[in-house]
């Protein structure tokens, strides 16, 4: 921590120039080693001066003259509530960094006013673009201010499809989850879906059906039951699952799976011997640490953040009219799946 008495006015390029006995433009050139090749001698003197004075270029001045900043805005509706938002930030941050951009992060916790002020603050800093992200996949209405900047939606999309978006591929995820079960030989696979209407609900169901279909299995509506998408929901559904004589269950998310584990155990049964289970989300704290560790499908938050900045910077160009860019949800096999017992 510094604080050397009275405001020691930062050292500027002029100071360096003076100390090195050259002009500012010379300093500028060696600092950015721009075209003009500077003589060994001068260059060396400048370097030394910089070193001695502890000079730091002033990014704001630079941006001003360059007419545009190296900022990228990221507005998130829930940095704190879940580990998920953190992953999005992380991914965005890494990719942005790689291209010399800095992230301006704003948390709005769903508050519209905070959102508006965050956006205008970003606009005033002349951000190169804004990433607007939500912690769970859903459709959103864009705050007005966003129209003024290049925007890309992350983990959400606008209903009119007017703004580029990147979202998880729910359907492929549902397909892969189901596939994991199928691959071990399961034929009666229950699906504990959420009862909350959402892209996740529709997409995962679609994937489930496609996987069944591909395996030549009929879709049996009795096998899918809608539950509260949390531990309670999973726990409450055990009897139903057991009654339908399913040998495996695809849970809408890891929390449902966690509840299911509890219920199964309470009935003296075991995962995966008596029931194979696959989750969705790959929520570390849960999935990796349940006993047995839960096989699941990961929501690619990091990747969503990364791809978000890539399309923002024009590095990735989503096919026009193709809807949101769907990012893969990788399967994470662990130990909650085994072959169905003969019966």
Q: Which residues bind DNA (CB under 7 A)?
A: 9-10, 12-14, 21-26, 28-29, 31-32, 34, 36-39, 41-43, 55-58, 61-62, 64-67
- Number of Cβ within a 10 Å radius of residue 83: 12
Site string for a second copy, 250-279 (x = CB under 8 A): -----x--x---x--x--------------
Nearer to a second copy, 81 or 214 (CB): 81
- Distance (Å, rounded) from C-alpha 164 to C-alpha 186? 39
CB 50, min distance to a second copy, A: 13
Nearer to a second copy, 52 or 109 (CB): 109
Q: Shortest CA distance to 208 belongs to which of 171, 168, 233, 238?
A: 171
Could you tell which of DNA, a second copy, none binds residue 331, using a CB distance below 5 to 8 A set by kind?
Answer: none
Work out whether 85 is an interface residue with a second copy (CB under 8 A): yes
Contact 92, 79 (CB under 8 A): no
Work out whether 124 is an interface residue with a second copy (CB under 8 A): yes
Could you tell which of a second copy, DNA, none binds residue 188, using a CB distance below 5 to 8 A set by kind?
Answer: none
- Distance (Å, rounded) from C-alpha 172 to C-alpha 174? 5
The residue from 180, 286, 304, 332 that contacts a second copy (CB under 8 A) is: 286
The residue from 50, 75, 154, 163 that contacts a second copy (CB under 8 A) is: 163
Q: How many residues bind a second copy (CB under 8 A)?
A: 67
Nearer to a second copy, 207 or 234 (CB): 234
Provide the H-helix boundaries in the chain: 13-20, 24-31, 40-53, 59-66, 83-98, 112-124, 170-183, 199-214, 231-243, 254-266, 284-287, 301-312
Q: In this structure, what are the phi and psi dihedrals at residue 77, rounded to the nearest 5 degrees?
A: -90, -5
CB 61, min distance to a second copy, A: 6
- Distance (Å, rounded) from C-alpha 204 to C-alpha 200? 6
Site string for a second copy, 199-238 (x = CB under 8 A): -------------------------------xx---x---
The residue from 11, 31, 53, 123 that contacts a second copy (CB under 8 A) is: 123
Which region, judged by CB under 8 A, interacts with a second copy, from 25-33, 161-169, 170-178, 203-211?
Answer: 161-169
Helices 13-20/40-53 angle, 10° precision: 130
Give SS3 for 12. Answer: coil
Q: What's the number of CA atoms in the CB half-sphere (13 Å) around residue 24?
A: 6
* Residue 32 burial (10 A CB sphere; 0-12, 13-18, 19+): exposed
């Amino acid at each position: 921590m510094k604080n050397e008495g009275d405001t020691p006015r930062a050292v500027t390029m002029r100071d360096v120039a003076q100390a090195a006995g050259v002009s500012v433009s010379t300093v500028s050139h060696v600092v950015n080693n721009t075209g003009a090749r500077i003589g060994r001698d001068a260059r060396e003197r400048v370097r030394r001066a910089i070193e001695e004075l502890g000079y730091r270029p002033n990014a704001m001045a630079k941006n001003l003259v360059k007419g545009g900043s190296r900022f990228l805005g990221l507005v998130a509706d829930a940095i704190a509530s879940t580990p998920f938002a953190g992953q999005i930030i992380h991914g965005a941050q890494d990719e942005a960094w790689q291209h010399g951009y800095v992230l301006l992060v704003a948390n709005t916790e769903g508050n519209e006013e905070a959102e508006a002020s965050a956006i205008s603050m970003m606009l005033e800093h002349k951000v190169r673009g804004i990433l607007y992200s939500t912690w769970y996949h859903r459709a959103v209405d864009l705050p007005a201010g966003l129209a003024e900047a290049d925007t890309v939606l992350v983990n959400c999309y606008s209903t009119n499809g007017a703004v580029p978006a990147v979202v998880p591929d729910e359907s492929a995820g549902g397909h892969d989850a189901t596939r994991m079960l199928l691959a071990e030989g399961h034929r009666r696979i229950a699906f504990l879906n959420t009862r909350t209407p959402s892209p996740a609900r529709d997409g995962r169901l679609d994937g489930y059906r496609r996987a069944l279909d591909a395996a030549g299995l009929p879709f049996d509506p009795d096998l899918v039951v809608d539950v509260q998408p949390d531990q309670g929901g999973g726990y409450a559904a055990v009897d139903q699952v057991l009654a339908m004589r399913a040998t495996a269950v695809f849970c809408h998310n890891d929390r449902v799976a966690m509840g299911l584990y509890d219920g199964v155990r309470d009935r003296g049964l075991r995962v995966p011997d008596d029931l194979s289970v696959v989750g969705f989300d790959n929520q570390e704290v849960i999935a990796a640490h349940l006993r047995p560790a839960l096989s699941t499908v990961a929501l690619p938050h990091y990747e969503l953040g990364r791809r978000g900045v890539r399309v923002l910077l024009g590095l990735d160009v989503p096919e026009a009219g193709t809807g949101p860019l769907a990012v893969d949800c990788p399967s994470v096999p662990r130990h909650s799946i085994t072959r169905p017992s003969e019966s």
